[in-house]
Amino acid sequence: MRVVMLGTGDAIGTPKIGCRCPTCVDALNGGRSRRLRFSILLESEDGRVLIDTSPDLRWQLIKMGISKVDAVIWTHAHYDHYAGFGDFHRVQNHVPVYATRSTMDYIISYLYFLRPERHDVKPLEPFEIAGMEFTLFEVNHPPVETMGVLVSDGGKRVVITSDTSDALPEESLDLMRDADLLIADAIMPPGYKLNKHMNAEEAMSLARRVKARQTVLTHLSHLYPPHDEAVKRWPLAHDMMSITL
């Protein structure tokens, strides 16, 4: 299985509009601090699945040379995780989409002009796409219902936390244990505290708690130092980072 981090930024992306902090300046100059919004591509020998459809999806698909996916899974109904789905318009019809019912209802009403193939799924009930098994599990990102994603290809296990704090239900922690790769929300460097996202310290302590073999941090804001400095201290992902398991 191959994982490609199509977008590693937070909801506003880096550079932030109007900001001249050192990280945004690095991003404006084309450095690795430049981050599109959240999407992850999973590839097996049988196909491709997108986790979330970033507002920057068009450019992400062009960069990857992809014109068709086998499915989309939405983790929650926040703009930075679904708004780019419209970029499939006149490119791919009837994209199969998977999400919990309330997330699906919200996103489908926003995208009323499209006709995706709707699959409502329940937390903790596995489903299969392109030879990969997916299980959604509850995380903690108030006020919206949000799902983390466990992906298994029979050999390796990848866990994507989506947007969440570290206050996770016990059954979700059980599912996350012993992942070969943990992709964790870490919107801020240590020192910042939010009730619906983790900072880098909280994300790394979660990684130790669930005994992840490898961890990358994503959903990163411009509040980190410029990427090349920050990555010496934390395992930050960067856009288009590809990990083969």
Q: List contacts with Zn ion (CB under 5 A).
A: 16, 19, 21, 24, 78, 80, 163, 222
Phi, psi of 25 (to 5 degrees): -65, -40
Q: Which is nearer to Zn ion, 24 or 107 (CB)?
A: 24
Least Cβ distance, residue 109 to Zn ion (angstroms): 18
- Tokens 């929300």 sit on residue: 185
CA–CA gap between residue 85 and residue 114 (Å, rounded): 9
CB of 6 to Zn ion, least distance (A): 14
Least distance (Å) between residue 21 CB and Zn ion: 3
Nearer to Zn ion, 80 or 239 (CB): 80
Tokens, residue 37:
């919004």
Q: What is the 3-state secondary structure (H, E, C) of 198-237?
A: CEHHHHHHHHHHCCCCCEEEECECCCCCCHHHHCCCCCEC
Which residue's CB is nearer to Zn ion, number 174 or number 228? 228
CB of 14 to Zn ion, least distance (A): 7
Nearer residue to Zn ion within complex by CB, 47 or 59: 59
Task: State in angstroms the smallest separation of the CB of 19 from Zn ion.
Answer: 3
| Beta strands 181-185 and 157-160, pairing class | parallel
Of the pair 135, 164, the CB lying nearest Zn ion is at: 164
Q: Which two tokens stand for residue 163?
A: 């947007």
- CA 128 – CA 150 distance, rounded (Å): 12
